[in-house]
Structure 1
Amino acid sequence: MSAAAERQRAAPAEPDRLEGFSSPREVDRVFGHEAAIAEFEDALRSGRMHHAWLLTGPEGIGKATLAYRFARTVLAHGGHHGEAEAIFRKVAALSHPNLLLLLRPYNEKTKRYGQWISVDEVRRLRAFLGNTAGESGWRVVIVDRADELNTNAANALLKALEEPPGQTLFLLISAAEGRLPVTIRSRARTLRLFPLQESDVERAVRAALARDGYETDEATLATALALAQGSVRRALELISSEGIGLYGEIIDTFARLPELDATRLHKVVDGLSNASESERLELYFSLLLGLIERLIRFAATGEGATDRERELGLRLLSRANLAYWAGAWEAIAEERSEAIALNLDKSLLVLDTWFRLQKLAREHPV
Structure 2
Amino acid sequence: MSSLLLNKISILNYKNILDKTFNFDSKINCFIGNNGVGKTNILDSIYHLAIGKSSFSVSNENNINHDSEFMLLDGIFLVNGKEENITCSLKRNETKVLKRNEKVYKKLSNHFGLIPVVLISPYDTNLIIEGSFERRKFMDSIISTYNKTYLHNIITHGKLIKQRNKILKYFNKSAKVDMDSILIYDDQIIKLSKPIHECRKKFINEFMPIVIDKYNKISGKNEKVTLSYKSDLNDNGIADLLKKSFQKDMTLQFTSCGIHKDDLIFKISNSSIKRFGSQGQQKSFLISLRFAEFEFLKNNNYISPILLMDDIFDKLDIERVKNIVDLVNSSEFGQLFISDTDKIRIEKVLSSLKNSSKIFEI
Larger proportion of helix: 1
Shorter chain as denominator, the TM-score bin is 0.3 to 0.5
Larger proportion of strand: 2
Q: Which has the higher contact order (CA 8 A, sep 6+)?
A: 2
TM-score normalised per structure 1: 0.33
